[in-house]
Structure 1
């Protein structure tokens, strides 16, 4: 397969799976198994495309928060976004420096997919019994920040799955409200994580020998696909449960356990 086509497919896969609660790590692992492994720089760039996508989707909401901090409701929401991000940074950075992270290999990712799928089914069942509340509490903000750390430690967990469902269980019973808060928190979190990873790469290895056409194609594909997927998801969850995603995760995880060599 031509490198440019492989880069296009990898960008599309990243854009589709980064924000759906299905684990982009697991899907990229399988994709690169068939399409060929890519550099760390390439992987950082395609995630940057996804970050650009979600920033564009929420551009009006972000501008409204930034320009409306004099309004108590906006200021309260922005402070809770900041707290969730700070919790992730203050807990996640020491965890990262200590090297507490499972490897990006098939077995742990597959089990994370299966367990996460079951967790989604159980969590949504109990969350729906809590009513239809839309207010983000401080407890939700702190829990979302911690859930992002858990997702980082356990590849395959899915950041969106871990955070959306903990938010729903702890107060944001409406799926759309939980998803919006989680996605907005994810913007500074993903920017910081990608920036840290890039700086680490630059200091340790440098950036060289890249096929810039492939990188550009993958970045663009990730950004365009991510934008479309997030817009679709925000509409979909207004009238649908996450059950389909949970079942897909379980089946995908089982397929990984049965199909790919356990040591990969």
Structure 2
């Protein structure tokens, strides 16, 4: 009889413990998410407080629903500033994405994917595992990149004023060298353009000079030929005038003149 009572008591305790939370992580995580909901504006307001925490959009819990493991809130239109240290209360959180929102303020030390926001200031020293994905693309961040993030891809820091590996050095040595090369190249290109223009102008002037000179020679020759032809035309009427005034003598004079001009023979009959 006593054994049956002990067995029933054990079963009752086991059934009762099934309805009790295994730990307080999910309770703490729920309180943290509600604090985020009240601090920010946007689609996070769609989290229904009457629904289980693990059913909220963007919230991924562990298989036993005991804690929040991932928080995916990209492009949710979130506005405002995140209170410092708020996400540190999510003790089991291993993935956080807040990219492409309108968040501002100083970047918290436990944010991973925050590209496309308005965070400003410097990146704090982060103690992140090597496999964690980190992205602060298109934020108003400045200063040097922490050494433990030097192995992250360069694309994760574009659109910021950060310096150091994997970007250019903070002392500006690499950037100044690059700018010097650009200035040298641009100066050489300008010099080449100027020299080319001068040479082209000289060639054009030489071509115009030779064309004008050739045209002047042709005009001089044409003038000489015209003068000779006018002289012949003027002399011929004078010789014909002798013919009209001298009868036969004039006729003979004309014939002789014609012979002299033509350089041939003239036969007179009758």
TM-score by length of 1: 0.18
Rg (Cα) greater in structure: 2
In proportion to residue count, which structure has more helix? 1
In proportion to residue count, which structure has more strand? 2
Query: Relative contact order, CA 8 A, sep 6+: which one is greater?
Result: 1
